[in-house]
């Protein structure tokens, strides 16, 4: 099943636990790459809402956000779920350039998606600076082990050969989903320390009340 990510309740908290969270919020750009139908959108939904829904193929890209609380930082993941169809291939680099994390997702029941993940990896390697982008190989649909066409050993071997991390997940059951996100958050933070300029601080844009009337004093002049 690839890298078995340990549950460590003392190391980090997901969005549901905000006790003693740090004030600083750091932006993390994450992109999901892979063939159409491998479950990228379902993984993103699991990350953000901890639920599973059947989804339609993504058109262009979809954007979601999720907050992860570490012991010494708060990371705001800006998740780009890219379309896997070939016709969108030319625009995908627009989404993964400058990414701090990239998930290369394939379907363990379809060997062609595993081959395609290696093509995405070659493309990604042309645009990222080694050491600045955490790349994680993800074999999804682990709940369909009886239909497996790609062994966990093959996934681990590819990851070891290319210097990647590897995990098998199930967006349907939620297996290894939270553990993956927490491990990824720690890895990204360690690889992009703030003092090195890798992660920037996120600031919420204040809302403007367009319905509020401003009253000016009699001494106020115009122009």
- Are 85 and 41 within 8 A, CB to CB? no
Q: Distance between CA 61 and CA 79 in Å, rounded?
A: 10
DSSP H or E run through 187:
helix 177-191
Q: Which long-range contacts (CB under 8 A, 24 or more apart) does 56-60 make?
A: 57/83, 57/84, 57/85, 58/82, 58/83, 58/84, 59/83, 59/88, 60/88, 60/91
**Model pTM?**
0.77
pLDDT, tens digit only, all 223 positions of the chain: 666 565 554 444 554 444 454 457 999 999 999 988 999 999 999 999 998 876 645 444 578 999 999 988 899 999 988 764 454 455 456 667 788 999 999 999 999 999 999 988 988 887 766 667 899 999 999 999 999 999 999 999 999 999 999 999 999 999 999 999 999 999 999 888 654 557 888 776 555 554 554 443 444 434 3
Instruction: Kindly tell me the burial class for residue 85, based on how many C-beta atoms sit within 10 Å of its own C-beta (0-12, 13-18, 19 or more).
Output: middle
* All domains of the chain in start order, with CATH: 12-196 (3.40.50.300)
């Amino acid at each position: 099943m690839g890298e078995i990510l340990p549950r460590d309740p003392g190391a980090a908290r997901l969005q549901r636990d905000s006790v003693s969270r740090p004030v600083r919020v750091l932006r993390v750009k994450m992109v999901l790459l892979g063939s159409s139908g491998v479950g990228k959108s379902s993984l993103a939904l699991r990350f953000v809402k901890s639920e599973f829904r059947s989804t339609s193929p993504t058109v262009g890209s979809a954007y979601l956000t999720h907050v992860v609380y570490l012991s010494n930082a708060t990371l705001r993941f800006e998740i780009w779920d890219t379309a896997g169809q070939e016709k969108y291939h030319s625009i995908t680099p627009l989404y993964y350039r400058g990414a701090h994390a990239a998930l290369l997702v394939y379907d363990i029941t379809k060997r062609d998606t595993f081959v395609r993940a290696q093509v995405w990896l070659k493309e990604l390697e042309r645009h990222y600076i080694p050491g600045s982008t955490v790349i994680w190989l993800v074999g999804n649909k682990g709940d369909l082990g009886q239909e497996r066409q790609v062994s966990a050993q093959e996934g681990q071997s590819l990851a070891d050969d290319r210097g990647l991390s590897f995990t098998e997940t199930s967006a349907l059951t939620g297996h290894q989903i939270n553990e993956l996100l927490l491990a990824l958050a720690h890895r990204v933070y360690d690889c992009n320390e703030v003092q090195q300029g890798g992660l920037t601080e996120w600031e919420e844009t204040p809302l403007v009340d367009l319905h509020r009337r401003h009253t000016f004093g009699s001494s106020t002049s115009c122009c």
